[in-house]
């Protein structure tokens, strides 16, 4: 549930007109999400999503919006940002940077099957391939440097067992990051937040659940492609209650991904460490959001203990895809 900045109908109507969507018909705040302010926007030309960016700056945002435009232009199922008459896709509203993108049809699949994981794995690989010639560069702003900056701010809120785990895992990730294998990992633009709630599915004419698109590219950055795989495995392919990886879904995801882009030997070897890194990354951000919250008229932060469980699971039971 997140609305940090209230947007008036007339303000939204003026922006909708500016990007050529015609008269605004409806504007509805979106409760889901915790990072930005989002509204469903119904205009004469169709259904869209209005986002006001609450933390990212006007200097950081072009990387994400142009990545979405680049991928959509290569038939990756990503909502197209809407441009004004000058081709500008980054706008401003209520004193915040803003964007309007197409609203994807369908809904979230919060209890995915191996077939859903297969579709997401294949589309992620196609997205990584399509991103190879993306000309802009911006690091993953929630990567190791951000972990180093944020962990000292949250340690004080933690009990000794959590504090020890956080400090030990951060030290381990520094050792991985300094390794030759890590340096050899293929890199490119990654989504870096491809959870179940950032992917849409809809039923086709035969009643089959088909992926209709990825959204929420606002944690994207240039990083190790296999880190993106780890983020997905830690959400799409787990038992939510225990954090345990589910072999059938994980195998379906990685097999489908590898049919589009084969994983290197270094990626296969480092995947267990990257699964730990992906769990650590979201444990840190959820702890940060809970213990150092922002003012909001609507906000339901995510539970940090979920990713403490996932991290402990990844450490206790390292997962390797069967060699292919």
Ligand X SMILES: Nc1ncnc2c1ncn2[C@@H]1O[C@H](COP(=O)(O)OP(=O)(O)O)[C@@H](O)[C@H]1O
Residues that bind ligand LJ64HWYM (CB under 6 A): 33-35, 193, 195, 197-198, 216, 282, 285-286, 302
Question: Taking contact as CB under 6 A, which single stretch among the options 99-107, 140-148, 233-241, 300-308 is the one that binds ligand X?
Answer: 99-107
Do 245 and 317 meet the contact criterion of CB atoms below 8 Å apart? yes
Residue labelled with tokens 């039923």: 203
| Interface with ligand X in residues 38-77 (CB under 6 A) | 38, 49, 51
Question: Taking contact as CB under 6 A, which single stretch among the options 84-92, 195-203, 229-237, 307-315 is the one that binds ligand X?
Answer: 195-203
Cβ proximity to ligand LJ64HWYM: between 16 and 78 the closer is 78
Do 58 and 139 meet the contact criterion of CB atoms below 8 Å apart? no
Sign of the four-CA dihedral 12, 18, 20, 23: positive
User: What residue spans of 45-104 are helical by DSSP H?
Assistant: 61-72
Do 116 and 236 meet the contact criterion of CB atoms below 8 Å apart? yes
Cβ proximity to ligand X: between 79 and 321 the closer is 79
CB of 178 to ligand X, least distance (A): 31
Q: Radius of gyration over alpha carbons of the chain, in Å? A: 20
C-alpha span between 248 and 133 (Å, rounded) = 33
Tokens of 82: 């809407």
- 10 Å CB burial of residue 17 (0-12, 13-18, 19+) is middle
Question: Taking contact as CB under 6 A, which single stretch among the options 34-42, 261-269, 280-288, 313-321 is the one that binds ligand X?
Answer: 34-42
Q: Quick one: what does residue 195 bind among ligand X, ligand LJ64HWYM, none, with the CB cut-off 5 to 8 Å set by partner type? A: ligand LJ64HWYM
* Member of 15, 16, 100, 104 binding ligand X (CB under 6 A): 104
Distance of CA 182 to the CA centre of its chain: 22
Q: Is 198 a binder of ligand X (CB under 6 A)?
A: yes
Do 21 and 40 meet the contact criterion of CB atoms below 8 Å apart? no
Among candidates 216, 3, 225, which has minimal Cα distance to 108? 216
CB of 53 to ligand X, least distance (A): 8
Number of H helices, E strands in the chain: 10, 9
Q: Quick one: what does residue 286 bind among ligand LJ64HWYM, ligand X, none, with the CB cut-off 5 to 8 Å set by partner type? A: ligand LJ64HWYM
Question: Taking contact as CB under 6 A, which single stretch among the options 26-34, 118-126, 140-148, 273-281 is the one that binds ligand X?
Answer: 26-34
| Interface with ligand X in residues 149-188 (CB under 6 A) | none
Cβ proximity to ligand X: between 95 and 152 the closer is 95
CB of 218 to ligand X, least distance (A): 6
Q: Is 3 a binder of ligand X (CB under 6 A)?
A: no
């Amino acid at each position: 549930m997140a609305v940090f900045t209230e947007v008036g109908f007339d303000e939204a109507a003026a922006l909708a007109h500016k990007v050529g969507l015609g008269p605004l018909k409806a504007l509805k705040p979106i409760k889901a999400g915790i990072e930005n302010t989002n509204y469903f926007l119904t205009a004469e030309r169709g259904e869209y999503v209005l986002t006001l960016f609450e933390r990212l700056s006007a200097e950081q945002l072009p990387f994400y919006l142009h990545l979405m435009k680049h991928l959509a232009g290569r038939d990756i199922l990503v909502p197209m940002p809407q441009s004004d008459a000058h081709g500008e896709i980054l706008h401003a509203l209520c004193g915040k940077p803003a964007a309007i993108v197409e609203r994807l049809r369908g809904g979230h699949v919060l209890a995915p099957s191996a077939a859903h994981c297969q579709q997401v794995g294949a589309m992620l690989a196609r997205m990584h391939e399509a991103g190879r010639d993306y000309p802009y560069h911006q690091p993953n702003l929630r990567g190791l440097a951000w972990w180093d900056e944020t962990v000292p701010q949250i340690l004080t809120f933690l009990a000794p067992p959590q504090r020890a785990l956080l400090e030990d895992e951060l030290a381990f990730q520094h050792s991985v990051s300094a390794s030759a294998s890590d340096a050899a990992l293929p890199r490119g633009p990654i989504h870096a937040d491809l959870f179940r709630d950032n992917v849409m599915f809809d039923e086709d004419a035969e009643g089959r659940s088909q992926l209709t698109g990825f959204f929420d590219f606002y944690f994207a950055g240039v990083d190790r492609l296999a880190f993106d795989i780890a983020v997905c495995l830690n959400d799409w392919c787990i038992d939510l209650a225990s954090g345990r990886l589910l072999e059938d879904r994980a195998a379906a995801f990685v097999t489908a991904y590898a049919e589009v882009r084969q994983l290197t030997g270094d990626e296969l070897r480092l995947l267990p460490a990257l699964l730990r890194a992906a769990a650590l990354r979201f444990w840190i951000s959820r702890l940060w959001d809970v213990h150092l919250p922002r003012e909001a008229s609507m906000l339901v932060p995510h539970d940090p203990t979920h990713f403490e469980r996932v991290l402990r699971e990844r450490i206790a039971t390292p997962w390797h895809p069967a060699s292919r």
